[in-house]
Amino acid sequence: MTITCLISLFPIIWVFLSSLKADPTLEPGFTLPKDISFDGYISVFTEMNVLHYFWNSFKIVTVSATLSIIMISMSAYVIARMDFKGKKIVTAMIYSTMFIPATAMTFPVYNLVNKIGIYNTPFALMFVYTCSGIAMSFFIIRNYFAIIPDSLEEAAEIDGASHSQIFWRIMLPIARPGILTAWILAFMNNWNEYYWSSMLIIDHDQLTVPALLGQFTTSFNTNYNGLFSAIIVIVLPPILLFTFTSKYFIEALGGGAVKG
């Protein structure tokens, strides 16, 4: 675990040290800066107005992650708790989406977004992000629904509860750790997503923070100080989110909420 943590932290520490150098190209490598410079961070908040792009990313990622998890939770509940014809086929089809790379869907998604008239708008990314990462979220939520005791569902049926009442009032609150885990993972994946955000939105004011990184690189020059500073600012929200919600990952993996 120590080796894994060191490997994971090394690039973050390297970027952080580089962001404090006035010119990282003159002081390359994993070295302490000779003279600490905060010019990159100042330019990120003043010239680049990064808080505006934070808001763009936050509203797009939050809405898309919430819509995605709501739909996946309902499908995962049905597949985990009910038996019907074609159940294995539906499950295999959902898992098979993990093997489709984003580049293979470039033209059909781009064409569809243009046809429905949402290209170069936040709704384009919301549409794509809502349909992204379905397999992983489905895997987490389905497994959590599967370990919930049948006695809870049977007791609710005896009391006259319908399937929708059992789902919304009983199963969904119990599966909260698993659902929140899937939501957090979807949020972090969409927050760091660059491919679609740089393709479906070209309006500068509508860009998300990953697409903003491209503003530091031109055909003739690269502002490495500003680039490294922006990277540190952008990766902080997912790190803080995971730090304060790590308990839900532990509960989801261990099934602690159900056992308790």
Burial of 141 (C-beta count, 10 Å sphere; 0-12/13-18/19+): buried
Burial letters 66-99, b for 16+ CB under 10 A, else e: eebbeebbebbbbbbbeeeeeeeeebeebeeeee
For tokens 């994946």, the residue is: 189
Residue 37 is predicted with a pLDDT of 82
pLDDT at 98 over 50: yes
- Asked if 212 contacts 53 with a C-beta cutoff of 8 angstroms, the reply is yes
237 residue type, one letter: P
Residue 259 is predicted with a pLDDT of 45
Q: Tens of pLDDT along 11-29?
A: 888 888 888 888 777 777 7
Q: Residue 217 corresponds to which tokens in the numbers above? A: 């690189």
| Predicted TM-score (pTM) of this structure | 0.79
- Asked if 41 contacts 19 with a C-beta cutoff of 8 angstroms, the reply is yes
Q: Tens of pLDDT along 142-182?
A: 988 888 888 888 888 888 888 888 888 888 888 888 888 88
Mean pLDDT of the chain: 84
Residue 257 is predicted with a pLDDT of 46
Q: Residue 115 corresponds to which tokens in the numbers above? A: 């046809």
In angstroms, rounded to a whole number, what is the distance separating the alpha carbons of residues 37 and 229? 10
